[in-house]
């Protein structure tokens, strides 16, 4: 086991000394009634990657005292709330939203609802009433919010509000009002989804479809199918393989529960095709389920008195599937069922002969592997209908957004700590209107929180007239690995200021993850800037997916000389094994010439 070097030990000693000196100076300045000068010392102590909890608590308490003495009660209340002193936080700040969060921490949800209502946040208030079991009060608030003129031009949020209203009415037993609200919600969300997809915002369209499938779970199967199939389509495009299979699995189960057996069989076949394309081990399982479901559908039709020819078609589909699997014993069983149907003597005799012909044919070996439960994602179905109403009411206010994070126990301590610092940066500034310098720092803090909720405040800040603020927002988004991050990146690429465009280009290079493929390929295809196109290609080359490799091969055929050279290097270093197969297939389809030669050279470089 190695020991720290002398230089490393010296550095640690120096840092410890610096911390002690800063802490001593902060205390001395507070004793001299100079809180403004004490705050920079305290910030240097709390804004560190690793701080012992006991030390952090002591430093935050002194920082809270400094903010209180400077008449910045919201910052002081934020610290008290973080330290679990909700009653003191409630007394410290008279801002309704701060009071609501303190009341939530104290378990007083009815009071929190009143505070949110006082702030004009009817959605927040309604959610608190629902948590308290007051559906009647929540319904009134959802109805008031639905009539808000500000929602008239926002079909997505209006649809979410109507959805929440419908659920409240349903819980109260008012079926007619619930149905009316649900139908309105469905139409609004369908319109919103179309609008989002037209603008290339498929991640926002996905949110619409998630709510639609939730509507379908309690309503018509057509709504359920529309929601699930569109969600699956978008997840496929984003290369989120395990989410795709989870959505397939859940939709298959619901289709079976509803007795929609033909739909379920189709879903099993599509899942099998998907797993085969992505070289996942579940293809046989899904083909078996498709065949079994066709048999089940045939038996159901016979039990319901349908024409035997309809059952014959379902049995025939099952035979095709079992044959593909080499499951000849199952094929024999299906032929036996067909031989008993009320069909012509000639057809029944044929089915008997086919069954006898397979009497001695053994099944081909094959292992059926179902989709494992440990790959299911807990966050596959977030409560969009609540979360996005909350986001809309916060209007991109960083302090309010981070206030939600601060009080949510599901976030780890380091995330809550970063949210605390972000909120303090804004509320502790002492500025009535935040200066560009403060906003630049605020953008940096938002990026460091590294969660999806930071995007809405950054999007709001990115509208600022000062280019330094816009550049800081675009820089911050580099650490936010979400598809929605590309809304800011694409906006930054078209900014009139060179510094903003530079930060956007850096973000294109930094954001390479599974579901970044779709926006990256759009950037490549739409940008006239060769530097941007090359950055997008480089990031695509770091995405381990079949789609990414296929696109790189297309660029190898059609790109300019610089892009072809770049792509050749990316393909040579690509780690996914499917690249070899794709390249061999491309070489076979290519006419002899420079492109085919380049592909063969890449294969040799890969050792294939």
Burial state string for 424-452 with b = 16 or more CB within 10 A and e = fewer than 16: bbbbbbeeeebeeebbbbbbbbbbbbebb
* Contact of 512 with 540, CB cutoff 8 Å: yes
Q: Distance (Å, rounded) from C-alpha 92 to C-alpha 313?
A: 73
Class of domain 147-357: mainly alpha
Tokens of 174: 């008012």
CA dihedral 419, 425, 428, 429 (to 10 degrees): -160
> Could you tell me the maximum CA-CA distance found in the chain, to the nearest angstrom?
106
Burial (CB < 10 A; 0-12, 13-18, 19+), residue 69, is middle
Assigned CATH class of 387-605: mainly alpha
Fold held by 8-113: 1.25.40
pLDDT score at 608: 67
CA–CA gap between residue 331 and residue 351 (Å, rounded): 11
pLDDT value for 16: 65
Place of tokens 């550049």: 471
- Give residue 380's pLDDT: 57
The C-alpha torsion from 238 through 242 and 243 to 245, rounded to 10°, is 110
pLDDT of residue 3: 45
**Closest C-alpha to 255, from 295, 214, 224, 301:** 224
Q: One fold for both 8-113 and 147-357? A: yes
pLDDT confidence of 409, banded at 50, 70, 90? confident
Do residues 121 and 392 touch, judged by C-beta distance below 8 A?
no
Here the tokens at position 529 are: 């800037």
pLDDT tens sequence across 499-529: 999 999 999 999 998 889 889 999 999 999 9
Q: Is 173 helix (H, G, I), strand (E, B) or coil?
A: coil
* Confidence at residue 593, expressed as pLDDT on a 0 to 100 scale: 87
Residue 407: band (very low, low, confident or very high) from pLDDT cuts 50, 70, 90: confident
Report how far Cα 601 is from the mean position of its chain's Cα atoms: 39
Give the model confidence (pLDDT) of 38-93 as tens digits: 999 999 999 987 778 888 999 999 999 999 999 999 999 999 999 999 999 999 99
Mean pLDDT of the chain: 91
d(CA 192, CA 222): 18
- Contact at 8 Å (CB) between 393 and 123? yes
Q: Which residues contact 134 (CB under 8 A, 6 or more apart)?
A: 110, 113
Residue found by looking up tokens 């560009």 in the block: 436
Across 213-232, average pLDDT: 87
Query: Which token pair is 343?
Result: 């069909």
Ordered by start, the domain boundaries in the chain are: 8-113, 147-357, 387-605
Here the tokens at position 387 are: 């979360």
What does the pLDDT look like over 460-497, one tens digit per residue? 999 999 999 999 999 999 999 998 999 999 999 999 99
Of the candidates 476, 485, 419, the residue with the CA atom closest to the CA atom of residue 443: 476
Check if the beta carbon of residue 545 is closer than 8 Å to that of residue 517.
yes
Q: Is the pLDDT of residue 436 over 70?
A: yes
pLDDT recorded at residue 574: 86
pLDDT of residue 2: 47
What are the tokens at 292?
């079994």
pLDDT at 265: 95
H helix or E strand, kind and range, residue 592 = none
SS3 assignment, position 85: coil
């Amino acid at each position: 086991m190695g020991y720290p070097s002398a230089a490393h030990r010296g550095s640690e000693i120096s840092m410890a000394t610096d911390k002690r000196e800063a802490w001593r100076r902060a205390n001395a300045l507070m004793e001299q009634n100079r809180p403004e000068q004490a705050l920079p010392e305290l910030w240097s102590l709390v804004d560190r990657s690793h701080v012992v909890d006991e030390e952090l608590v002591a430093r935050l308490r002194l920082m809270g005292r400094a903010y209180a003495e400077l008449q910045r009660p919201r910052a002081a209340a934020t610290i008290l709330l973080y330290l679990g002193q909700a009653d003191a936080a409630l007394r410290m700040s008279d801002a309704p939203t701060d009071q609501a969060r303190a009341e939530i921490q104290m378990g007083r949800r009815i009071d929190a609802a009143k505070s949110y209502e006082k702030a004009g946040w009817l959605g927040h208030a309604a959610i608190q009433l629902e948590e308290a079991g007051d559906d009647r009060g929540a319904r009134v608030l959802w109805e008031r919010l639905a009539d808000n003129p500000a929602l008239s031009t926002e079909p997505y949020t209006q649809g979410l509000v109507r959805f929440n209203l419908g659920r409240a009415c349903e819980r109260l037993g008012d079926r007619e009002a619930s149905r009316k609200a649900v139908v309105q919600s469905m139409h609004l969300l369908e319109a919103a989804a179309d609008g989002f997809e037209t603008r290339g915002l498929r991640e926002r369209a996905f949110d619409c479809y998630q709510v639609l499938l939730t509507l379908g779970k309690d309503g018509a199967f057509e709504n359920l199918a529309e929601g699930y199939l569109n969600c699956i389509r978008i997840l496929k495009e984003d290369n989120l393989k395990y989410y795709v299979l989870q959505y397939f699995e859940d939709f298959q189960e619901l289709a079976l529960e509803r007795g929609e057996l033909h739909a379920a069989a189709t879903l099993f076949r599509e899942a099998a095709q998907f797993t085969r394309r992505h070289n996942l081990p579940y293809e046989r399982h899904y083909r078996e389920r498709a065949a079994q479901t066709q048999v089940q559908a045939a038996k159901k039709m016979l039990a319901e008195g349908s024409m035997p020819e309809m059952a014959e078609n379902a049995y025939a589909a099952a035979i095709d599937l079992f044959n593909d699997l080499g499951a000849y014993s199952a094929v024999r069983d299906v032929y036996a069922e067909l031989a008993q149907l009320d069909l012509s003597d000639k057809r029944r005799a044929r089915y008997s002969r086919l069954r006898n012909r397979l009497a001695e044919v053994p099944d081909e070996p094959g292992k059926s592997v179902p989709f494992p439960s440990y790959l299911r994602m807990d966050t596959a179905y977030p409560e969009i209908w609540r979360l996005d109403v909350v986001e809309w009411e916060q209007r991109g206010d960083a302090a309010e957004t981070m206030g939600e994070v601060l009080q949510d126990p599901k976030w780890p301590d380091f995330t809550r700590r970063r949210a605390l610092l972000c909120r303090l940066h804004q509320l502790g500034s002492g500025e009535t209107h935040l200066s560009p310098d403060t906003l630049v720092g605020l953008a940096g803090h938002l990026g460091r929180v590294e969660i999806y909720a930071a995007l809405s405040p950054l999007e709001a800040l990115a509208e600022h007239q000062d280019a330094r603020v816009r550049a800081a927002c675009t820089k911050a988004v580099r650490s936010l690995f979400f598809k929605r991050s590309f809304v800011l990146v694409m906006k930054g690429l078209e900014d009139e200021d060179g510094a903003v465009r530079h930060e956007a280009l850096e973000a294109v290079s930094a954001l390479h993850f599974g579901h970044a493929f779709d926006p990256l390929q759009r950037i490549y295809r739409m940008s006239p800037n060769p530097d941007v196109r090359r950055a997008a290609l480089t990031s695509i080359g770091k995405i381990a997916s079949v789609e990414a490799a296929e696109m790189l091969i297309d660029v190898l055929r059609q790109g300019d000389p610089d892009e072809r050279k770049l792509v050749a290097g990316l393909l040579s270093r690509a780690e996914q094994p499917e690249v070899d197969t794709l390249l061999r297939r491309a070489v076979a389809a290519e006419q002899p010439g420079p492109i085919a030669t380049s592909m063969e050279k890449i294969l040799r470089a890969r050792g294939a």
